Amino acid sequence: MPTLSSRGIAMPESPIRKLVPLGNAAKERGIHVYHLNIGQPDLPTPQEGLDALKNIDRTVLEYSPSEGLLSLRQKLKQYYDKFNINVDVDDIIITAGGSEAVLFAFLACLDPGDEIIVPEPAYANYMAFAISAGAKIVTVPSSIDDGFALPSMAEFEKLITPRTKGILICNPNNPTGYLYTMKEMIQLRDLVKKYDLYLFSDEVYREFCYTGAPYISAFHLPGIEEQVVLIDSVSKRYSECGIRIGAIITKHKELKKSIMKFCMARLSPPLLGQIVAEASIDASADYMLMNYNEYVERRKFLIDGLNRIPGCYSPIPMGAFYTVVSLPVDDADRFCEWCLSEFSYEGATVFMAPASGFYTTPGSGRNEVRMAYVLKKEDLAKALRVLAEALKAYPGRTMPV
């Protein structure tokens, strides 16, 4: 038999999706599954986007330009202006979701063997995209004990080698919900400048910051404008995960030319998705505020509920709609599988993402899970009750009931 590629063998499974067969099997047995495992918002897509999709009057659904529709990029520039992210239309490249944006950024910036430093736990697909590019993710650990604050710059510097090409952050963070402070961002700026690195900044959750402090984009940091590669997506802020529209923003002209070669090779980003995304940018301030307020309420409800369950601990996330929770279990992977395959309470169970898949350091996150508060509060209440009962019944519980 022909052999598989080393990249294919090394590619990690998604910690978010690998348990889907068990979740589907539970549903086939008639069990209601509360999905806390995936960041799929249940809030409505803007009516402006839905209307644009319904009212497409084209007779041909043609290729779009490889860099994306000019009208969409113009709308995005206006959107970024509201956040004092000062970019030109020509700095914006439309991609098939934020995932393609990360992949193309890596392919254009990194040679095989190059290294990127990433605080962990981190979005698991960063590792997958690095493997696709032949590059290596080097992680610097953050801890649930201090709410997953950014590690010290000394810890970053210990990891810098001649192969280091960049630092990657997600702000607000997936999976932890941590929001980097101005002080932390300035420290990153100084480090990136000192070692002449790229700063890859995934900012797809910028609409969901809960501190009241001004949102800090990597493009707000003076002196490294051409070293910043910003990753964006409409998936989360407009509940449009399925249209697959993201963006890369860079002021580095040669890097943009390189990224465009990959864009040309894949021809064009999704036309229908771009039409929906462009219309959705006109969503009203009331729509955005309604979604924001809903996540604020869900966050408080979930975190309060989790921290009342004996043995559970979650720091208060300050952004996005995720939290990482420590549980009184011997192995969170085993516990998540057990919940789906062997447990139910009043006809229901919970689906969580084991946090071990968001770490590369062996053994890290062993008793942690990531939860997404993308369910209405009534469902979160039921999910919390099911989780509490599951922890009482789980054979591998690590503290007395």
Q: Are strands 368-372 and 353-354 parallel, antiparallel or unpaired?
A: antiparallel
Residue 340 phi/psi, 5° resolution?
-85, -30
What is the DSSP secondary-structure string of 160-226? --TTEEEEEEESS-TTT-----HHHHHHHHHHHHHHT-EEEEE-TTTT-B-SSSPP--GGGSTT-GG
* Cα 43 from Cα 199, distance rounded (Å): 32
Q: What is the pTM of this model?
A: 0.95
pLDDT in tens, the chain (401 residues): 899 998 888 888 777 778 999 999 999 999 999 999 999 999 999 999 999 999 999 999 999 999 999 999 999 999 999 999 999 999 999 999 999 999 999 999 999 999 999 999 999 999 999 999 999 999 999 999 999 999 999 999 999 999 999 999 999 999 999 999 999 999 999 999 999 999 999 999 999 999 988 899 999 999 999 999 999 999 999 999 999 999 999 999 999 999 999 999 999 999 999 999 999 999 999 999 999 999 999 999 999 999 999 999 999 999 999 999 999 999 999 999 999 999 999 999 999 999 999 999 999 999 999 999 999 999 999 999 999 999 999 999 997 65
Beta bridge partners of 246: 95, 233
Q: Provide the 10 A C-beta neighbour count for residue 360.
A: 20
Domains plus CATH for the chain?
A: 6-44+286-393 (3.90.1150.10), 47-280 (3.40.640.10)
CB 139 within 8 A of CB 365: no
Q: At what angle do helices 70-81 and 271-280 cross, to 10 degrees?
A: 30
CA distances from 43 to 37, 291, 373, 376, 381 (A): 16, 7, 11, 9, 18
